[in-house]
Structures are given as C-alpha cells and as structure tokens.
Structure 1
Amino acid sequence: MKYSISILFSLLFFLQSCGQNNKALDKEVNEILGNLYKDVKNYDQRINYHAMIFIGGCNYEVLINDFPVDRYFGEGNGAASGSAPINRAILKSGLQTWKIRIYPIHDIKEINGKVTMLPRNTIQEGARVEIAIEGIQFKENGDIEKRFGKVVDFKAPLKKDDKTGKNIFAEAGKPYIEYSGTFQADVPYQLAGWEEGEDLYKLDKSTLEKQLLNKYKEYSNWIQNRNLEKIAKSNLNSEKEESQALFYDKQTNQSIINNNYINGWGAEGLKVYPLENYKIKFFGNGKLATLERSDYVGDPILAGEYVNKNNKNEEMKVFYLYFYIPKGKTELEVIR
C-alpha cells in the first residue's frame, strides 16, 4: 500500500504527539504520586495479611472490616483459588472482622438478542468455600521472607447426602449464605481511613445518590480527556494510605503509577460506558458508599473498553471507587 508524503507526515506527527502526550501524562502523575514510598514508615517491620480463598460452584464476596477485598460473580464451572492482599482494609492493629458472602452461580443466556448473566435461584450442592488469612513478610524481589501463621482457617461445613452418601454443601438450596468471624492483626501503622467519616445511612438516599453520580461524572470526564493530574490529585489521600498499608518500595510505587494510571485510568483510546443502571452499595459499616451496576452483579458503574496494543483485542477496564464524607465536612471524597 502506498501513502502520499502528506499522509506519512501526518501519521508521523500523530505518533510523535502520542509519545509526547504519554510522557507529559507520566510526568504529571509522577510529580503527584511518585514519592509515596518515601513516606512509608516501619518498612523493616512490614507484615502483609493475605486472604487465601478456595471457591467452587458458587459466587462470592470477601469483606474485611466490611470493606470488599475480593469477589467473583459469573459462571461457576469448576473451582478456583487465589490470594488477595487485605492490608488496605486494615486501618490499625487489633481485632478485625472477616465475612464471606456466598451467592448462587450465574448462567449465560441470550434474552432479546442480548447476552446476559442470570443468577440461579439457589446455591448448588457442589459448592465449596474455604478461606484462610495469614500474615506474610515479602522480600523486595517478591519472594516470601517470613510467615507469621494463619489467623483464620475456615472451611464451610459439608454434610452427607442421604440418597447418594456423597458430601454436599451443608447450606445447599439456599439463595444466600454468609460466614463471618474475627481475627487479630498486628500492623506497624495506623490509618485514618473512614473511621471518622459521617454515617451515610443517615443521609437522604436520593440526595446521596445524586452526589455520588456527580462524582462519577467528574471521573468519567477526566478519563475521556485523559486528565490524569486531576484523577491523581483526587485519589492522593487514598494512595498515601495504601502506600503505607502495602509498604510500597520505589519499584512498587512506579508499578502502581504505570499500571493503574498511565495504562489504567489513562489507557489510550479508552471509551467510557454510559453511567446508567446503578444502585448505591454501602460498606465500612455505613461510612463508605459506591455505585454498582444493577444489571451486572458486583460490577462498578465506572468502566470502559479499549483496544490492547499488544494483542489487538478489545478489553474492558473497571474502576472501583469508595467515597466517604470526612467528619465535619459535607462533600464526598475518595478514600479507596
């Protein structure tokens, strides 16, 4: 294929502009968030608590201190296991709470030409639920340096089926079940978090919903205009706390900037979905609020899609935001 000199020049100019824009974005975000690791205290005493989760035949949501740290809503074929860091939900040493909510799996169906996921009515007999929480100290290269032992080791009960003699999920046949407990965590930091936030349950729900929607509209506009400076400034307090809770070093700090901001919030060509079909979800014992999709369980309202440069596939990005109102103030702020 042949190109005219003018087209080639325009293409070269476009590529140079993209590169310059990326460098400018990178500089803006680094100026705001690039030195978070320098303020991390007690790095030598770091301890990262992780929730090790084994799930089979069900959907779930794991909460630490009533803050969501892991979830899955979708088809339930087979079993899955993974590890989720939970320090971002631990504000200080002491007694913490854990909860795991169990839901039926979803089936993919086509309704009126639209593919959607519909939850089943009840939890199936083959469901399995296990959660363990353990304190771990990692080396800077990511290897485990020290284990502090499990502080939670829970397996949902099974029972023997009278007909088949097989072990089945004891709560099978129910539409929802949750398990909860407490554990002791010892961390070398204390975060303000949302503890001193206003009780959002006491606010008029429709007013709160409008305030939340306005905040999401701000973020949506920032994403569409690739205004990472405003996003980074809005998230600064949250990022400061997370850098301490997760004990950022310089490499981790830069990775967060690259993955979450340059290639996340600022992904080239990211098209934001309309802000629609939403409902308020409360967390943090009523001090946190977010907007989630009402038609896709567990999905945040703020999401979009872009073409991945590496594999040329269309991919989806989702953005979870948790707002609170600091005591004595009236405006919502991001805290996670």
Structure 2
Amino acid sequence: MNVEGQVATNIPINFAILKSGVQSVSATILPNIGDLQLHPKSELKFNIKLFDVAHDFVFDQQFGDYRSEAIEDKKKQVIKHVGSFKAEVPYQLSAWQNGRNLQDIKDNRKKLEQAYDHISRLIRENKFEDYKKSISKREENMAASMYLSKAESEERFTDLVKDFKSGFKIQPVSKDAVMFVCAENKVAFLKKANGESALYLENPETEEELMLDISFYIPEGKEEFEII
C-alpha cells in the first residue's frame, strides 16, 4: 500500500511503562491536513515486541497484534483502538502519576507556553547546565526504563549539547501549536500541525531541524509546569 501521508515506525514504550502490571495502549489516526475524511486505503496496524535486554536487545516475542478493518467505500473521520497488555519490568518510575490533574489548573495553556518559553530561553542563552537540571527527572526515568549505564546517560546529554553548539538555533514556538493532554490529564505538550514537536532548533546553513520532544506536568503541591 502506498498512501500519501502514511507512516510506519518503531516506538520504544519502556518510558511509558511506570511499573509492572496491566498497561493501557491507545492509537488513533486522523485525516491528512486539509482532508475531512480518511483515505479509503487508510488503516491502523500495530503490534508490541519484547526484546531480551540481558543479551544485547535480542528479539524475544511479538504480541498484541491489531489491524483495523478496511475502510473501502465507508466514510470515516477517525480510526481509534484502545487495548491493554501485561508487562513485567525490573523498575518502577516516579513520573506523571505524581502530577496534578490539568483540568483543575486555571490557564493551563498559558502556563504551558511559559514553560516552553523558559526552556527556549535556557538554550538560546547557552545555559546548558540549567537545561540539564530541568530535564534531570526525565533523564533519570529514561535511564532506568531503557537500561542505560551512567556513562550512556551522560553521553545522551553531551551529544545534545554538541548539537546545540554546532549551528542549531532555537526557533520560536508557534502560537498555533496544538496542546495535547494525556496520561489521565496529567501530562501536556505542544505539537505543530504536522504532528512534530513545537519545540525545535534549526541549522540555517544545512536547513536541518532538531526536534526536542519533551512533555510537561505540574507536580503535586506546585503551580508551574516541569519537564517529565
């Protein structure tokens, strides 16, 4: 099948698994920008793969296969599937479950934009140590869930700073960016209309873009967004 706008990718989900137990998974596809209905050949198909990390990420098994029914001559505006699977992991993350319900936060969009502006300013002013502190909770969870050593975790940040210093310039977050809320209304982030992160850098010489795909939450007892 060859449909304009189609996408297929492998997405690590360890970071979304906070602890062992039943995990909820949902997936949605919408029409291409400018279209009111899905393409007749559109379909949603995914599965979950398990890898043995004790032996250098060797494929173990596949499960949770899902494939939507054919659209054909039906007129559909969305395809959505919600399911679950059981996971056993050797870690437990302290993450968004300790956040406030964003529906209870007044002016949450404005607060989120201010959080993005703060991160953009840190990068623009080369305050990389402050930026490192702002993503520390996220990186701790990433290291635990992706089984990274301390050296590998440090290398992630070092490589990122190298990119920052190699001609990439932080770009303004568009006021038209779409706000997404997930994780039981406790996590929020901004996306461009094409689904890419609203926070990105661009190299004017090479015209390359560097996406910073980060999410925010408001910890219990606090009023401002933090990276999670």
Normalised by the length of structure 1, the TM-score is: 0.62
Amino acid at match of 2:227: V
Partner of 2:198: 301
Structure 2 CA distance for partners of 1:129 and 1:281, relative to 1, 3 Å: closer
Amino acid at match of 1:277: D
Which residue of the other structure, out of 259, 266, 274, is the alignment partner of 2:172?
Answer: 274
Structure 2 CA distance for partners of 1:156 and 1:170, relative to 1, 3 Å: farther
Which residue of the other structure, out of 57, 73, 84, is the alignment partner of 2:11?
Answer: 84
Contact 1:267–1:306 (Cα < 8 Å) also in 2: no
Partner of 1:133: 48
Q: Deviations over 1:58-83 (max 9, x none)?
A: xxxxxxxxxxxxxxxxx42xx65432
Identity value in percent: 26
Higher strand proportion, which one?
A: 1
Partner secondary structure for residue 82 of structure 1: coil
Partner secondary structure for residue 157 of structure 1: coil
Q: Deviations over 1:143-186 (max 9, x none)?
A: 51x51x2331111123xxxxxxxxxx368521112111000010
Amino acid at match of 1:212: L
C-alpha distance in structure 1 between counterparts of 2:161 and 2:81, whole Å: 35
Residue 203 (structure 2) pairs with residue 203 (structure 1)? no
Residue 189 (structure 2) pairs with residue 330 (structure 1)? no
Structure 2 CA distance for partners of 1:183 and 1:171, relative to 1, 3 Å: farther
Residue 138 (structure 2) pairs with residue 231 (structure 1)? no
Residue 173 (structure 2) pairs with residue 261 (structure 1)? no
User: How far apart are residue 120 of structure 1 and its match?
Assistant: 1.5
Partner of 1:289: 188
C-alpha distance in structure 2 between counterparts of 1:287 and 1:134, whole Å: 27
C-alpha distance in structure 2 between counterparts of 1:255 and 1:241, whole Å: 15
Larger Rg: 1
User: How far apart are residue 187 of structure 1 and its match?
Assistant: 0.4
User: How far apart are residue 130 of structure 1 and its match?
Assistant: 1.4
Amino acid at match of 1:280: M
Partner of 1:51: none
Partner of 1:46: none
Partner of 1:3: none
User: How far apart are residue 255 of structure 1 and its match?
Assistant: 4.2
Structure 2 CA distance for partners of 1:56 and 1:253, relative to 1, 3 Å: farther
Partner of 1:182: 84
User: How far apart are residue 102 of structure 1 and its match?
Assistant: 1.0
Count of matched residue positions in the alignment of Structure 1 and Structure 2: 227
C-alpha distance in structure 2 between counterparts of 1:155 and 1:277, whole Å: 33
Amino acid at match of 1:244: A
Partner of 1:36: none
Contact 2:18–2:93 (Cα < 8 Å) also in 1: yes
Contact 1:209–1:280 (Cα < 8 Å) also in 2: yes
Q: 1:100-249 to 2 correspondence within 5 Å?
A: 100-105=27-32, 118-138=33-53, 142=56, 144=58, 147=60, 149-158=61-70, 169=71, 172-204=74-106, 207-249=107-149
Partner secondary structure for residue 203 of structure 2: strand
Structure 2 CA distance for partners of 1:321 and 1:171, relative to 1, 3 Å: farther
Normalised by the length of structure 2, the TM-score is: 0.88
| Stretches (4+) displaced over 4 A | none
Instruction: Please report the RMSD computed on the Cα atoms of aligned residues, expressed in angstroms.
Output: 2.3
Partner secondary structure for residue 117 of structure 2: helix
Q: Deviations over 1:37-95 (max 9, x none)?
A: xxxxxxxxxxxxxxxxxx963xxxxxxxxxxxxxxxxx42xx65432110000000000
Partner of 1:14: none
Contact 1:151–1:184 (Cα < 8 Å) also in 2: no
C-alpha distance in structure 1 between counterparts of 2:145 and 2:201, whole Å: 28
